[in-house]
Structure 1
Amino acid sequence: MESKKLVCGVMALVIAASSMSGCSSAKKPRKNKYLAQASSAAAIKNIDIYYHKADYGVMDLGGSSGLQVGGLFGVVGLLASLGAEAASRATAKDRTVARSEEFSKLMNSLDGDNDIDLAQAKKLADMLTASGRTVRLVEIKRPQAERLLLDQTPNLPDSDENAVLVLRTTLGYGAESATASYKSIVVTEYVLQKINGEVVHRGKQTIHDDGQTYMTFSGLKEAYVETHQALGKDAQAIADRIFAAVVK
């Protein structure tokens, strides 16, 4: 069951990487739609933030036949172009699962409050509270649907003043070949929706290759304290971006 969860998390890393440029290339909403979203967001006074526990993916795509193509776009582009192939190859899949499990155990062994996703949700809650909203945190299982939406009944009554903010965060490191460096990637998808299901705002924020890289998986493991800090820092920076996008 744990391996299945890690495979889902790693595939999420691939899917997230494949569309990392979506925020910058997406068409800007029309002015009237933008104003309507801003007005709807301004009316919200109570928000439940739905988050899931952090899991970590480590991908080494060495040995894939598509490396020459994917390498042109760096590790993130490579993950995008080779994701389906890497997931289907037994050796790549087994290596990914084994390394992700090993890396996750190290990351989760740290003392104190070490869950990056929870820390990200708490930061958003603090900022939203400071803006005058009443906020609660609700832990859920990682949403599996391709299009992120709340897939359970909200705990708030249907009102224009109530909404839910659903987060789905992908954390990990990827190497574009057996000899390439491991580079970080953090992606958070989010959707702010009313209790009746109306979407007020949705988006995705990505930070990749931000900081130290590691030539070997052994080096990545040895630096697990530093990698946890690096991924956590990027997740916190993404929380700032989400707050700015949601509150406007």
Structure 2
Amino acid sequence: MKTTIFPPAIALVLVFLTGCASAPQKQVLSVQEKADYAQRIARIKSVDILYSNDNHVVVLDGGGSGSVGMAGLLGPVGLLAAVAIDGASKLSKEERSKARSKEFSDKVRSELPSANLSKDFADQVASKLRDRGMEVTVTPLTSSRTSADLATYPELANIAAGRAAVVIWNNPGLTAESATSAYVTSAVIDYYCADADKTKILDGRIVRRGDSVARTFQGLMDPISQTYSSLRTLYLSGHINIVQQCFDVPDEKRPIDVLKSIAK
């Protein structure tokens, strides 16, 4: 059964619309299937981690959390007035999101020049794999393609025998459910694992929702170091999911064929 993969921006919105994804029907692996899987995983001695490196943060809100975010402090009348003003804004949600995403990301690059959430995440995955005795390289992607094209990245064209590759596309976000909601940290992480024969081992998406960090966009921007730190904490907590999904022997069959040959 094919799993529907939503674009990252839509996935960020779905963080608020669904508490959790519906669990697929479980199919337990047999003892022999587990043994075969473990043997194939054991053949992997080296892993190349390729990560998106644009360091861009998506800012999404359901109604322009600006003056509205603080208007609630003025009581019902003030809140309604602010919502009306916000609704009359000439900027569409898409335009506002693009503008705020750029403004926030530019300020991160300006005030936190050494910050690189994508590399930090890839390094965390690499550290866990090295703990397992694997040789690991960590390299930024040179392609500007989107996460929907993970399977066709040119960097996957020449995986050596005995190696596996993990492509990670990071989509950190700050999202507000509505005009009266606070911004919360959120993360969408797409990943694709492949072997030397270009055979897909596993692909998937991690979606995480964190805590509220500010009631207004200005609150996100000042101090930006505090907002970025909260986002980074949430984001890095997802690294173990990729390690387990790609390199642990599962108890159950997954939505795609995970018993493909791995580095014959």
TM-score range, shorter chain: 0.7 to 0.9
Q: 1:185 to 1:123 in 2, by over 3 A?
A: same
Distance in structure 2 (CA, Å) of the matches to 1:145 and 1:211: 25
Match of 1:66?
none
What 5-or-longer segments of structure 2 have no aligned partner?
Answer: 1-6, 65-89, 249-264
Query: What CA RMSD, in Å, does the superposition of the two structures yield over aligned residues?
Result: 2.7
Question: Who wins on radius of gyration, i.e. which is larger?
Answer: 2
- How much does 1:239 deviate? 0.7
Output the amino acid matched with 2:8.
A
Distance in structure 2 (CA, Å) of the matches to 1:143 and 1:37: 31
Match of 2:148?
146
Q: Which moved more, 1:28-37 or 1:170-179?
A: 28-37
Identity of aligned residues (%): 22
Match of 1:31?
29
* Equivalent residues of 2:59, 2:174 under 8 A apart: yes
Distance in structure 1 (CA, Å) of the matches to 2:189 and 2:237: 11
Match of 1:12?
8
Q: Answer yes or no: is 1:170 the counterpart of 2:168.
A: no
Output the amino acid matched with 1:107.
V
1:118-197 matches, within 5 Å, as 118-140=119-141, 141=143, 143-144=145-146, 146=148, 148-154=150-156, 156-159=158-161, 161-197=162-198
Match of 1:191, SS? strand
* Equivalent residues of 1:156, 1:162 under 8 A apart: no
Q: What is the aligned length?
A: 210
Q: Answer yes or no: is 1:103 the counterpart of 2:104.
A: yes
Match of 2:116?
115
Distance in structure 1 (CA, Å) of the matches to 2:25 and 2:226: 37
Distance in structure 2 (CA, Å) of the matches to 1:227 and 1:237: 16
Output the amino acid matched with 1:243.
V
- How much does 1:165 deviate? 0.4
Match of 2:228, SS? helix
Q: What TM-score results when the alignment is normalised by the length of structure 2?
A: 0.70
What 5-or-longer segments of structure 1 have no aligned partner?
Answer: 1-10, 64-88
* Equivalent residues of 1:187, 1:204 under 8 A apart: yes
Q: 1:98 to 1:16 in 2, by over 3 A?
A: closer
Match of 1:73?
none
- How much does 1:27 deviate? 4.0
Output the amino acid matched with 1:149.
A
Higher RCO structure, 1 or 2 (CA under 8 Å, sep 6+): 2
Distance in structure 1 (CA, Å) of the matches to 2:150 and 2:28: 22
Match of 2:256?
none
Q: Answer yes or no: is 1:225 the counterpart of 2:225.
A: yes
Q: 1:150 to 1:134 in 2, by over 3 A?
A: farther
